[in-house]
Structure formats: C-alpha cells, structure tokens
C-alpha cells in the first residue's frame, strides 16, 4: 500500500512536507499517526508542526556537535551529552504542543533512557570521530562532520521513538502522564525493539548536511 493511500485525507500534508524532511518522511508519518490517535485531525497543521519540532532540535544538536568535533579527543565523547539536552527539550515542546502534562524530571529521564538505548547504534561513529579529531587539519573537519551527522541522526531517531511511544500508549488507552517512569522506559524499549530504527538512523545520516554546505 502506498503512502498516499495509507494516510488518506492527510496525503496533502505528507506531500507538502516531503521536501522539507528529505526522502525519509518517517517523522511526519509518526506525527500524523499520533495526531489521529489524539483525535486532533481537525488541526491540519499539527502533524507538520510536530515534525518541525523534531527537525529543528535535530539540526540544533548537529550544530552544537560540529563545534565540539573540532576539539581533539572531545567531540565523540561529548556527543551523547550534547544530545541529551536537545532531546529532552524537544520532548518538552512536543508535550506542550499536544497538551501532555509531563514534569521536567520525567521528560529528562525518558530522554536520557531513549538516547542511551539508541546510542549503541552509534558507537563506531563516535569512536571514529574521536580518532579523526587528533589528525591535524582535515582530521578535525572529518571529526566534526561525523559527530554532527551522528547527533542529527540520534536526535531525529529519538524524536521518532517518542512519537511512536506516545501513539502506542494512547492506542492502548494508557495515560502517559499517569504512568510510572519504569513503565514508560519499558514501553520505550519495546518501541525501539519493534521499529526499524537502523533505517531511520541511516536515512537521517544520509539526509544530514553540514552547516558549511
């Protein structure tokens, strides 16, 4: 079944946003699914606004990571730490957009848990960027590009997982705001295990363009 038929009346939203999100529109699909579950389809702009939040924070994380990549031995090690702040802020903005009353501490804990879970997919990139950063000149450039793409993909994947997590919980008639932290983290782990995260990450890395471009 095509994306057009999958989303019916939301087809126009997907077409308009496809250019902005590159070839991978997984984030927008996840946003559309969440909005449907919340019965907020009357707001035609909401899925795009949610997708834009994810992309904005992914770009911000990448820009911060590019700066850290120029410091020998620091860039790769700092990547997950840099991402954590962008991810939990991204989650907070998504919550505000859909009216989900999570406390800041809970959002931070969920973000850290998801980022840590996903980080295993980036070990090779982080090690490579750290090694590159010690090479004078071109090595620092290479390290910043690698760590920038890594942070962009990690933030984007974290946004995807969060949207899928909320959709999963609302579909099962569970209120995320009333769940304990361990249950939320377990549900997030189930989402990561059930989704093709490697493709999300691969597409995100392929679509990342360093600031100099």
Q: Which pLDDT tens digit goes with each residue over 77-121?
A: 556 667 788 999 999 999 999 999 888 899 989 998 888 888 776
- Residue 179 domain-assigned? yes
What ranges in 38-180 are assigned the alpha helix state H?
46-69, 75-98, 104-119, 123-132, 138-171
- Residue 37 domain-assigned? no
- Residue 171 domain-assigned? yes
pLDDT tens, residue by residue, 193-203:
999 888 888 88
Check residue 112 and give its pLDDT: 85
- Residue 119 domain-assigned? yes
Q: Taking residues 183-200, what's their average pLDDT?
A: 92
Res 190 pLDDT > 70: yes
pLDDT tens, residue by residue, 157-178:
999 999 999 999 999 999 998 9
| SS3 at position 212 | coil
Q: pLDDT > 90: what percent of the chain?
A: 39
CA geometry: angle 211, 112, 200, nearest 5 deg? 55
Give this prediction's pTM. 0.79
Check residue 21 and give its pLDDT: 45
Query: What's CA 43's distance to the chain center, in Å?
Result: 23
Higher pLDDT, 27 or 81: 27
- Residue 98 domain-assigned? yes
Check residue 95 and give its pLDDT: 95
Spatial distance between the Cα atoms of 34 and 54, rounded to a whole number of angstroms: 14
First and final C-alpha spacing in the chain: 36
Check residue 133 and give its pLDDT: 42
Q: Taking residues 73-77, what's their average pLDDT?
A: 49
pLDDT tens, residue by residue, 5-25:
344 445 544 444 444 444 357
- Residue 8 domain-assigned? no
Query: What is the number of domains present in the chain?
Result: 1
pLDDT category at 132 given cuts 50, 70, 90 is very low
Check residue 145 and give its pLDDT: 66
- Residue 32 domain-assigned? no
- Residue 167 domain-assigned? yes
Spatial distance between the Cα atoms of 56 and 94, rounded to a whole number of angstroms: 12
- Least confident among 40-44, 90-94, 174-178, 188-192: 40-44
CA geometry: angle 160, 165, 170, nearest 5 deg? 130
Structural domain that includes position 158: 48-207
pLDDT tens, residue by residue, 48-71:
999 999 999 999 988 887 776 545
Q: Which of 19-23, 126-130, 206-210 has the highest mean pLDDT?
A: 206-210
């Amino acid at each position: 079944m095509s994306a057009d038929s999958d989303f019916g009346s939301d087809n126009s939203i997907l077409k308009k946003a496809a250019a902005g999100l590159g070839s991978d529109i997984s984030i927008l699909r996840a946003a559309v699914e969440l909005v449907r579950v919340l019965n907020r389809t009357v707001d035609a702009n909401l899925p795009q606004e949610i997708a834009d939040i994810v992309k904005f924070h992914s770009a911000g994380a990448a820009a911060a990571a590019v700066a850290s990549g120029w410091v020998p031995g620091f860039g790769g090690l700092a990547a997950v730490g840099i991402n954590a702040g962008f991810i939990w802020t991204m989650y907070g903005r998504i919550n505000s957009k859909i009216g989900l009353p999570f406390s800041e501490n809970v959002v931070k804990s969920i973000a850290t848990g998801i980022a840590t879970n996903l980080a295993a997919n980036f070990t090779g990139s982080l090690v490579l960027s750290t090694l590159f950063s010690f090479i004078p000149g071109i090595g620092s450039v290479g390290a910043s590009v690698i760590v920038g793409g890594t942070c962009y993909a990690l933030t984007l994947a974290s946004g995807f997982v969060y949207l899928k997590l909320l959709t999963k919980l609302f579909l099962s008639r569970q209120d995320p705001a009333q769940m304990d932290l361990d249950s939320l983290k377990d549900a997030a782990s189930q989402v990561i295990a059930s989704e093709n995260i490697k493709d999300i990450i691969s597409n995100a890395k392929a679509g990342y363009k360093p600031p100099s471009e």
